[in-house]
Structure 1
Amino acid sequence: MRKNLLLAASIVVACSSNVSFAQKKTFSFNDVFKPGANLNITKPLPDISKWIDNEHYLETKREDGKTTQYSVDAKTGKAVVFTGQLKPAQPIVPMIGVEGAVNMTASPDGKFFAYTKNNNLYTLEIATHKETQLTNDGSDNILNGYASWVYYEEILGRASHYKAFWWSDDSKHLAFMRFDQSMVPVFPIYVADGQHGYLENQRYPKAGDKNPEVKVGIVDVASAKVSWADFNDKDDQYFGTPMWAPDNTLWVQWMNRDQNNLKIYSVGFDGAKKQVYNEEQKTWIVLDEDDRFQFINSGKQFILKSDKSGWKQLYLYDADGTFVNAITQGDFTVTDVSFVDEKNNAVYFKARKENSARFDLYKAPLNGKGITRLTFGEYTHDAINVSPDGKYFITTYSNLNTPPTMALVDNKGKVIRELGDSKGANFESYALPKTELVRVKSDDGLFDLPVTITYPINFDPSKKYPVLVSIYGGPDAGTVYDRWKPIGGVNQWWAQEGLVQVAFDNRSSGHFGKNGMNYIYRQLGKYEIGDFMTCGRWLKKQPWMDNKKLCTTGGSFGGYMTCMALTYGADVFDFGIAQASVTDWQLYDTHYTERFMDTPKDNPDGYKSTAVVTSANKYKGLLRIVHGTTDDNVHMQNSIQLINKLEDLKKDFEFMLYPNERHGIGSNVAAKRIHNAVESYKFYYKNLLNKPMPEDFWK
């Protein structure tokens, strides 16, 4: 009954739009694919970057070719030209050229640079240009301050650019990681250039393989003495990104190989360690959690973020690790801390509480005695900028059918005034597709799976439409949110061409907290594709869908889901384009894979049942497999093994290969990116729209 009501509501919305669409403009090919002209459909929101003080924020305006900064009074809105100086977070230091230096990073006091060179760690005194070598054993396999691949990709993050060293706040010490990757298997990546080609040999630990051995060092910059933290580097373990505490001890996150036990240690300059936190879970704990803990009250306490309850919440601890109280509790997800008001013992944080597809700002006392929602309406509040004393905040909010708006709000939740609306003068002049968010009950009845549907322009519910589904599906990586999507892109084009565009999320996507994610433990992919099949079957029951034209597309984990859709889920899905796909979890890296699956030795049945080749005999429809030959993240080995199996089974499929392309095809060569996109468009025209692709795409 509930599903029928939702469908009826969507049809009414769509039908009521048909009359107005008839009088509105559509986008030309050049408007979408060769943008240049300003259609004035949307306009930029105010450029408000930071707060000057408790009562004034800084706004930058570009007028008559000039850029001017204004100080705006939060209470009155009065703006005057800003002539003061904003104190930088740390001194601005001119870069000094050092041959071979990597990740040159200035110390907080601006007196030194730290960097790696030939896999050793160095400092350079800026005033004298004196270079000091801090380690001496760097080699191809011994990396000091430069991350081994699995740490770069899965723990420290791509934004680190392989940097694995960290200045103390007083600039007197450097923490760093030393990696010995000699025991990590080498994966050869073939590059076909030139007459003979060559191999890139990458130290890449696949599930069950040896990981690099890691030591955590602390350097006294003045003496260049290195002290090693009191860990046994021969243990099977991981270290998260360390953090300097206000008392200049180094807080180190340690985790076992099974990734179900997290410990946080305070490490002194001599390397001695003291445990301050210990957490265990039956499934897994994410080591690379953003801002897991935040020091407050001059380092006497810290706020910890954890999903140990089944939902990510905030907890208060004393600096010695003594638990004080839970700050937040409930079946909702806290995403990040925006501001801590130490004077009034309150914390401001973002959470997905009112609706799992939306983000709001809340305030809670540190003693955990209740929370207050500060944002408003049925919107996603994405960008939050809190004043230094917490008296005001600036929010940018939207939903699927409301473009972003910016407002100033006080700490009671009262809107002081609107600061900007992104609707342009011609917003109402163009036919824009309507999008709605519905919920589909999972087959086991436990979850209301979120689905967004973008209807074609001039949608007619009496007609039959093909459906294109964009899939990712990875753990805690949902794609369905109630927020505005930019106008004028390829989504607009498909809406004009008659494609229904859909996204859906499964139980492990983050909408249902860690409780939802725990279902996938030791069977990564099973429940995810099962939930997607449920959504696919629901779509095929809709009277407006052509039930022989359900197409999925995705990359990386989304590529894996697409491959599973055309094999395991072949009775539901008809077409798919899978890019840079994992096809067997034995072929992916240790840290990511084992978090969810354990090792192949410990969980052979789980690895077998979730491999695409296991279900390849069910394959039907049409799958296009796309991969870059030098993908160093998801190796092309994954696609090759699937192709081999499909060939042995005499299955019809398509394959598109991109020479010398990495995980993101076209990230370095624009021509490859364009070719990949246009070939995908051609696939949709041929198999979903059943008409020739416009020649303009090839021009």
Structure 2
Amino acid sequence: MKNVLMLVSFLLLTFETTKAQTNQTATKNAKEISLTEIWNGTFSPERMNALNSMNGNFYSLLNYNPQTKESTVDKYSYETLEKVETIVSSKNISEMSSFSSYSFNDDETKLILGTDFNQIFRRSYSGTFYAYDIASKKVTLIGENIQEPIFSPDNQKVAYAKGNNIFIKDFSKNTTIQVTNDGLKNSIINGITDWVYEEEFGFVRAFEWSADSKHLAFLRFDETAVPTFSMDIVGNDLYPTQQVFKYPKAGEKNAIVTLHLFNVSSSKTQKVDLGDYEYIPRIKWSNDANFLVATTLNRHQNDLKLHKIDAQKSSSTLLLNETDKAYVDIHDNLTFLTDNSFIWTSEKDGFNHIYHYDFNGKLINQVTKGNWEVTNYYGFNAAKKTIYYQSVENGSINRGVYSIGLNGKNKKLLSEKDGQNNAAFSKNLQFFINTYQSATNPPVYSLFSSDGKKIKVIVDNADLQSKIAQYKMSPKEFSTIEINGNQLNMWMIKPLDFDATKKYPLFMFQYSGPGSQQVGNSWNATNDYWHNMLSQKGIIVVCVDGRGTGYKGADFKKSTYLNLVKYETEDQIAAAKKLAELPFINKEKIGIWGWSFGGHMSTNSLLKGSDIFSMAIAVAPVTSWRFYDSVYTERFLRTPQENPAGYDENSPINYAEKLKGKFLLVHGTGDDNVHVQNSFRMINALIEKNKQFDMFIVPDRAHGIYEGRNMRLNLYTKMTNFIEANLLK
């Protein structure tokens, strides 16, 4: 027996030695990741076009043939995934050479086709739009340089915005009604949100048809008293131009927003009294055409009300009131059922869950419960009395798709257990296309029945998986790290030839914003390939989601309230110090980087953690929350007048003297979100303290700093060179 054990031990040793040698040979022969490949799309996964679910078991896709320059809207079957027909083709429309957007009316007999788009802000565009009748193939111009056209439910009209006013084109009468007349740039906006609503409440079209097409509800923004912000645009002409827009910074005046109802038959508009409020972040008609529901928030954003509005009387009653000691998040999960009872999601029990109310605001039941978060609401199947949703029941870094009865019973996991799953349900909720991904699996698109049966894999990205295997790529190692009494999610990337007896520089990445997540079990984004490239150069890359990040309950997310970036910075500094205790970390070479909120964080960490961080990169950073917009900032800090310490004690411009390490500051001068003013003030503060640093100020680029050929390649080359110079030498 002894000889047998010795033989087995010898064979195992031989196997492990051979395996190690094989891995070393494979690593040696593997390709190096290059910045050019990262930014030319070499590692981009194949994706499905965004599909539009249609009536019945069908969906549509907008397809474009670059050879023929033909745009088509094609109809597909969920059951077979085969194309059923081409609904419209640009080659058959003389009025437009191509189109890049489309939307159906309710009964799918007509389309709105859009072309010649001009971007305004992050989500807003203007363009030229046409109405297309599918049966007759008739094309009618709706308007040029217009925004957000939408059919009325009776299919006779289209409402749209132009020049800060609202119009209704009536096809049955071949007339156009101007609903509002007072629209004026940087003064009055009708039916389209202002900058801060678009950015922070996430919507652009602020008008909605009633189900009977008799009323059009809309928001009016009076931004006359809102302070103006301006940016010089260098461009290519002899003289620069200016972009001038209203931007309410923390503590400054917001637009005065009011709700109005336009009666189509009488052409009269009524203002709706909603009592005391600061914001109207949502309006939505119920299934009863006579009742609209409007959401209001106070300025502190901790008192949310749902108002039930009688369109016939233009009167309002309170439907639901939700308060919080910190803030209440805005979402789109208000869904009316056939009896006009409604589904609502709330964090009121400490975790985001689904609730069912009647149309008088009385709670019928809490549908989901547990110490986990509902992360997406997909819909309600009335015939099956079943709700479909996404949650983190399988771990905060994962996402699963579930079904549950309206009564809270018969819960079922419909998707893969591990990794992240996201469902796109058919309109009738009979099928869904599931996108599954994990840190080791690129996105796989599969067709499922609504009971969780996988019918067919549509896109598997096997070619990308094979391609990645040819490169030097290290896996993310997921774990938790105990920091300041909390178990924080973390991933680590080590070099492929990692040797525990050696010392490696440490480079930390984070974003850290409220409710965000960077440590997720998902496939590589472009930054992940860059981090892996840095790892193969001999750097250990780590990401830690600290206090204030999401998917761990309301208390964890809101623990940073009134002290934004204070505790988040403390967590990154403490994490760096704890990681520095590892025998393979060079504690003299520790860096950190981030973008936007993460840029603020990396700047703070370098200054307040000067005893542990030796370098940092900050891209488009906030440097004082006094410079940022009212809605976002006050949600977490209240106003500067109420909470000056919360603003100033965590602003790096107030402790620039603490800089000891190497610092690279990057910003685009065309950033309408986090203004370059933030970096300019940081630069002046550093100059006043006679501190040396590096900077990269990029003309005219917006917050993403991607406009122009080779922009991202150039930026990441600069950042890579800075890291190599300060962590590897």
| Aligned-partner residue type, residue 394 of structure 2 | E
Which residue identity lines up with residue 630 of structure 2 in the other structure? Answer: T
Task: Find the counterpart in structure 2 of residue 175 from structure 1.
Answer: 217
Which residue number in structure 2 is paired with residue 530 of structure 1?
570
> Are 1:237 and 2:286 an aligned pair?
no
Structure 2 distance, partners of 1:405, 1:466, is 35
Question: What amino acid is aligned across from residue 293 of structure 1 in structure 2?
Answer: L
Aligned to 2:718: 679
* Aligned equivalent of 1:92, options 111, 114, 121: 111
Counterpart-to-counterpart distance in 2, 1:147 and 1:306: 25
Distance 1:465 1:100, change over 3 A: same
Amino acid paired to 1:19: Q
Partners of 1:336 and 1:17 lie apart in 2 by 44
Amino acid at match of 1:250: L
Residues 1:265 and 2:307 are matched in the alignment: yes
Pick which of 236-245 and 392-401 moved more. Answer: 392-401
Q: Note the C-alpha offset of 1:198.
A: 5.7
Task: Give the whole-Å Cα distance in 1 for the aligned partners of 2:357 and 2:725.
Answer: 60
Q: What amino acid is the match of 2:24?
A: V
- 1:60-209 counterparts in 2 under 5 A? 82=84, 89=106, 90=108, 91-93=110-112, 95=130, 96=141, 98-126=143-171, 129-140=174-185, 141-157=187-203, 160=204, 163-191=205-233, 199-209=242-252
One-letter amino acid of the structure 1 residue matched with residue 366 of structure 2: A
Q: Name 1:511's counterpart in structure 2.
A: 551
% identical aligned pairs: 30
Equivalences for residues 292-691 of structure 1 within 5 A:
292-296=333-337, 298-369=338-409, 371-381=411-421, 383-386=422-425, 393-409=432-448, 413=452, 415=454, 421-424=460-463, 428-443=469-484, 445=485, 447-485=486-524, 489-667=529-707, 669-690=708-729
* One-letter amino acid of the counterpart of residue 160, structure 2: Y
Q: Tell me the secondary structure at the aligned position of residue 199 of structure 2.
A: helix
**Gap runs ≥5 in structure 1:** 1-11, 691-699
| From 10, 21, 27, the counterpart of 2:26 | 21
Aligned counterparts of 2:459 and 2:671: Cα–Cα separation in 1: 43
CA distance in 1, matches of 2:612, 2:451: 49
RMSD, aligned α-carbons = 3.5
Matches of 1:500 and 1:632 in 2, distance apart? 34
Distance 1:82 1:400, change over 3 A: same
Contact kept, 8 Å, 1:156 with 1:241, in 2: the verdict is no
Provide TM-score, normalisation by structure 2. Answer: 0.82
CA contact (8 A) 2:31 2:471 kept: yes
Q: Aligned in 2, Cα 1:133/1:402: closer, same or farther, shift over 3 Å?
A: closer
Paired AA for residue 274 in structure 2: F
Counterpart of 1:92, as a letter, is L
Deviations 1:9-46 (A, max 9, x none): xxx9x97994363365314648715748x8xx997478
Asked whether the equivalents of residues 431 and 447 of structure 2 are also in contact (C-alpha less than 8 Å), the reply is yes
1:59 offset after TM fit, Å?
10
| C-alpha displacement of 1:349 | 0.9
Any conservation in 1 of the 2:288–2:340 contact (CA below 8 Å)?
Answer: no
Kindly indicate whether the alpha-carbon contact (under 8 Å) linking 1:468 and 1:501 is maintained by their aligned counterparts in 2.
yes
CA distance, structure 2, for counterparts of residue 57 and residue 92 of structure 1? 14
Give the aligned partner of residue 328 of structure 2. Answer: 285
Q: Matched residues in 1 for 2:262 and 2:73: separation?
A: 44
> Residues of 2 paired with 1:689 and 1:389: CA distance?
57
The answer to which of 80-89 and 237-246 deviates more is 80-89
What code does the residue aligned with 1:132 have? I
Provide the rounded CA distance (Å) in 2 between the counterparts of 1:146 and 1:34. Answer: 35
- The structure with higher relative contact order (CA 8 Å, sep 6+) is 1
8 Å CA contact retained: 1:42, 1:423: no
Question: Any conservation in 1 of the 2:74–2:87 contact (CA below 8 Å)?
Answer: no
Q: Say how many residue pairs are matched.
A: 658
From 260, 277, 280, give the equivalent of 1:217.
Answer: 260
Distance, in Å, in 1 between the alignment partners of 2:435 and 2:167 is 43
Shift of 1:682: 2.1
1:462 partner SS: coil
Q: Quick one: distance in 2 between partners of 1:145 and 1:551?
A: 47
The separation in 2 between residues aligned to 1:570 and 1:388, in whole angstroms, is 55
What do residues 157-215 of structure 1 show as CA deviations (whole Å, max 9, x unaligned)?
4xx2xx32223343332221111112212234344577775654432221111111111
TM-score if structure 1 supplies the norm length? 0.85
